[in-house]
């Protein structure tokens, strides 16, 4: 596909504008459209964005174009050796494209602070803050089994684009169920959401870098905990949280199993600056998409969840067969799955969580007998806590005095080139 400038790219993404306006009685549709407009304005201010931009934004290809592109990608490799050469190029494109290779060399030094520990029905919930890099903090909650005294599996739980999403019911449900089954779960804030308000807003130009770096630091923190088995690390999130899931799994083999929910698409590259605001899909010598990035997880277990009402509607026919072919190179077809919900929409609802529970129970050796089945996983034991109980920063636990405040202070500290 030819490179497109800002104006043409913007118009390409508004081809269905008439349909959007017809649906503006739906507040979610209106909010999504307004978010897209804001994103378009933000990326137009990113240095280098223009006619020769390497960014692949939003609906960068049509469904037909994406289907053809997947066939072109498949023609570039025919065995494990040729795929791994391509995989190395894609991985390098991710690391250099989001400037991960320019981040400070930090080991340990998490300065973790855990507060407000509560024991509920078979699981414990704690509020936690850890240091991502000097002056920048990751905020979230730890959910862990109340019954286990040994080493447990651990699961990273990033979330998608919704105000205070970490505090919402669906994140609490999946974190609590996994904890009761025997996992230490770290549910953490997206940059600019929840308690992560050191940035001016989520639309900081390096949001993708900050979020992926935060995920890496969460992983490293979990690996150092005495109650975590380093060989049983999982990761799952929906929508923008799924983007984080397949990005970290692609570049870090310490993620042993992953479940990206409603986000792996051949034609949609992410509608937020944290997903497509840095050039990870394209360089002067390569082009890829999120399907190939997700396939970098091979041969580690991965469950791709999709539905019929968003950009993952073609997953069983386009995206999943490509990923299966990659897994076949490792004789690992049995380690990758797709569960498709053709009558459902873009969410991480109960039906999607239920298949995720079974997947992690098998691959991370969780104790599924710790929850009841009537006939599938019963979440009724979960206590939904009010947002104020899950917040990290309170009057008694304020933000650290050394916190970097504002986009400019953060970017000046990192001094990215």
Q: What is the pLDDT along the chain (417 residues), one digit of tens a residue?
A: 333 333 334 433 433 333 333 344 455 445 544 554 554 454 444 433 333 489 999 999 999 999 999 999 999 999 999 999 999 999 999 999 999 999 998 887 899 999 999 999 999 999 999 999 999 999 999 999 999 989 999 999 999 998 899 999 999 999 999 999 999 999 999 999 999 999 999 999 999 999 999 999 999 999 999 999 999 999 999 999 999 999 999 999 999 999 999 999 999 999 999 999 999 999 999 999 999 999 999 999 999 999 999 999 999 999 999 999 999 999 999 999 999 999 999 999 999 999 999 999 999 999 999 999 989 999 999 999 999 999 999 999 999 999 999 999 999 999 998
Residue 366 falls in which region: left (phi positive, over 0), alpha (psi -120 to 50) or beta = beta
Q: What is the pLDDT of residue 11?
A: 36
| Through-space distance between the first and last CA atoms of the chain, rounded to whole angstroms | 28
Element (H, E) at 142: strand 136-145
Question: What top-level class would CATH report for the domain 113-390?
Answer: alpha beta
Please give the Cα distance from 130 to 217 (Å, whole number).
9
Please give the Cα distance from 317 to 4 (Å, whole number).
28
Among 284, 332, 318, 312, smallest CA distance to 92 is for 284
Element (H, E) at 336: strand 336-341
Q: What is the pLDDT of residue 93?
A: 97
Q: What is the pLDDT of residue 417?
A: 85
Q: What is the pLDDT of residue 34?
A: 52
| Contact residues for 197 (Cβ-Cβ < 8 A; gap 6+) | none
Q: What is the pLDDT of residue 81?
A: 98
Please give the Cα distance from 302 to 153 (Å, whole number).
16
* Burial classification of residue 408, based on how many CB atoms lie within 10 Å of its CB (0-12 exposed, 13-18 middle, 19 or more buried): exposed
How far is residue 134 from each of residues 38, 139, 248, 333, measured CA to CA in Å? 30, 14, 22, 42
Please give the Cα distance from 256 to 43 (Å, whole number).
34
Residue span(s) of the chain under CATH 3.40.50.1820 come to 113-390
């Amino acid at each position: 596909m030819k490179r497109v400038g800002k104006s043409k790219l913007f118009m390409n993404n508004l081809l269905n504008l008439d349909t959007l306006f017809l649906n503006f009685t739906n507040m979610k549709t209106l909010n999504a459209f307004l978010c897209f407009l804001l994103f378009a304005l933000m990326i137009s201010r990113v240095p280098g964005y223009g006619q020769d931009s390497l960014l692949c934004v939003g609906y960068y290809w049509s469904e037909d174009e994406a289907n053809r592109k997947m066939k072109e990608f498949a023609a570039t490799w025919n065995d494990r050796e040729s795929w791994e050469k391509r995989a190395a190029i894609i991985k390098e494109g991710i690391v250099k494209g989001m400037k991960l290779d320019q981040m400070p060399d930090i080991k340990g030094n998490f300065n973790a602070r855990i507060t407000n520990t509560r024991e509920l029905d078979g699981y414990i919930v704690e509020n936690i803050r850890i240091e991502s890099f000097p002056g920048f903090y990751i905020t979230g909650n730890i959910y862990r089994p109340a019954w286990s005294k040994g080493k447990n599996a651990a699961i990273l739980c990033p979330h998608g684009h919704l105000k205070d999403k970490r505090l919402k019911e669906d994140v609490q449900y999946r974190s609590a169920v996994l904890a009761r089954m025997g996992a230490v779960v770290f549910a953490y804030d997206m940059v600019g959401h929840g308690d992560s308000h050191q940035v001016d807003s989520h639309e900081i130009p390096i949001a993708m870098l900050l979020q992926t770096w935060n995920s890496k630091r969460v992983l490293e923190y979990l690996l150092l905990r005495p109650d975590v088995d380093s060989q049983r690390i999982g990761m799952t999130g929906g929508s923008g949280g799924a983007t984080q899931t397949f990005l970290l799994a692609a570049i870090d083999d310490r993620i042993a199993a992953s479940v990206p929910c409603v986000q792996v698409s051949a034609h949609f590259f992410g509608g937020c600056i944290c997903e497509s605001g840095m050039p990870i899909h394209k360089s002067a010598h390569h082009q890829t998409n999120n399907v190939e990035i997700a396939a970098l997880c091979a041969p580690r277990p991965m469950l791709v969840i999709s539905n019929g009402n968003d950009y993952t509607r073609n997953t069983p026919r386009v995206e999943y067969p490509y990923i299966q072919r990659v897994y076949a190179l490792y004789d690992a077809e049995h380690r990758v799955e797709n569960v498709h919900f053709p009558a459902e929409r873009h969410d991480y609802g109960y039906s999607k969580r239920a298949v995720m529970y079974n997947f992690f129970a098998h691959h991370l050796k969780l104790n599924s007998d710790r929850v009841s089945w009537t006939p599938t996983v019963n979440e009724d034991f979960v206590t939904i806590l009010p947002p104020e109980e899950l917040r990290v920063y309170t009057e008694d636990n304020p933000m650290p005095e050394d916190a970097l405040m504002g986009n400019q202070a953060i970017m000046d500290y990192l001094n990215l080139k």
